[in-house]
Structure 1
Amino acid sequence: MTSAPLPPFDTAPPVDGAQDFEREATDPHCMSDTESDAVLHGAPWRRLAVVGDSLAEGLGDPVPGYRTACWADRLARALRRSVPDLAYLNLGRRGLTAAQVRAEQAEPAAAFTPDLLGVVCGGNDLLLPGFDPRALASELDRLFDTLGAPGTTLFVYALANVVDAIPELRGGPLEKGVEVLNEVTREVADRHGALVVQMHGHPASADRDLFSADRVHASARGHAVIAATTIRALASRIPAAEFSTGER
């Protein structure tokens, strides 16, 4: 199984009339190539896989001044500057529940033999009638049992709650639902020794442009912020590495 290609960002159509990513370059919650190279110095990973739903796939609206690239592709790009032969596989597909992710993606992901694996799912379970947190936890446990081979660094996300950025959604199912989803994710991650990337409560989580127009998916800026936060979190798993976790 071959790694996924990473087309240059510059091939993406500009969203602001010019290929100018100045807003991203000056965003204190994003990360320059120079900073990510320093943070990822000594990274031990050679095979990156991502499984999950639309957030793993990378759906999102463009934002003027930001590269149109999802967090996973950004992470792979950053790692490839330190590890040029990094293999990368993204199996994320929109609309999948945790059970569907396990049924459709666990086997090919395991066959890829990743040593760094991102798991992003559960959001679609949350939107189903009769959502059962215990059933979700069971599915995530089974997924992690399949994918958590010795030597593999697993990472998951505590998601930002869109109600922080869009107050009119308060009182709806997402407000408490995202909190429950994050609690389940953290508990399962703790059982399996997985790293939790903390987007919940992130300093930028109240910014409306972190989200797409559908008020569910991350925007291009959101993906840039997620990638930077992921890189900083992964630095804690680099043996004997010197790294900075602070904002620029």
Structure 2
Amino acid sequence: MEGIVYVAHGSQKMGKNQKMQAFYQELIQTHPETEQGLAYLEKHPDTIAVIVAKMYQKGIREFIIVPLLLFSAMHMEEDIPQALKEVELCYSDVTFSVSQPFAQEPEVVTILEERCREKLKDFPTNPAILLVAHGSTNYEKPGKIVEKIAKELAINLELPVTAGVLYGKPDYLLEAKQLIQQHPQILVIPFFLFDGHLLDKIQLALTEIKPNTVIFSYTETLNLDRRLINGINHLMNEARVDG
């Protein structure tokens, strides 16, 4: 008997957790026949261990762990594996399959492109475009993926797109400083699941470095667009096969 555990980051802000809960309610409708639960990595009592324990009591022994994360960094490489090891110490008869983060799914690029095209309508001439994601100081892979997606967007938009990350490389502030030298208008694509303090941090930092002659504009984030569900389910099915 199989169960699905979706794993979100978690937030101190109730509004963000409520948005994730609403997204989860849409997710579970695509697998109504399966026992499902939503766990959080931080700042929430419903941890992976808690949700697995509840499902174990219902007879679930095979679990698919579905990280609701864009990139593979510390949470994916360290926190989730550690949580699963601790669960296995309590339940020796359980098995886990873990799906991959979904930043590279086609639906993600489509949404980012749409966000950008919608905002480009506001510009009389094409601005410089800067794609900014979270990144990681300890893992190179997120930065590499952001660069790859920036190239895809550039092809689709037929415009240059510069990649940058908040943590690690390529440093979004360094990239922005270079763009400022040549472009009076810069469109920033915040590559995040939804709005929050990280976007606020980016906006504040960019405001502090810009001269009065430069204008920064921002697209909408992914904002937990329902189309992300297709990519998440695709990766979940891959995990089933690999598992």
TM-score (norm: length of structure 2):
0.41
For the pair shown, the structure with the greater C-alpha radius of gyration is: 2
Structure 1 or 2: more strand by fraction: 2
Larger relative contact order, structure 1 or 2 (CA cutoff 8 Å, min sep 6): 1
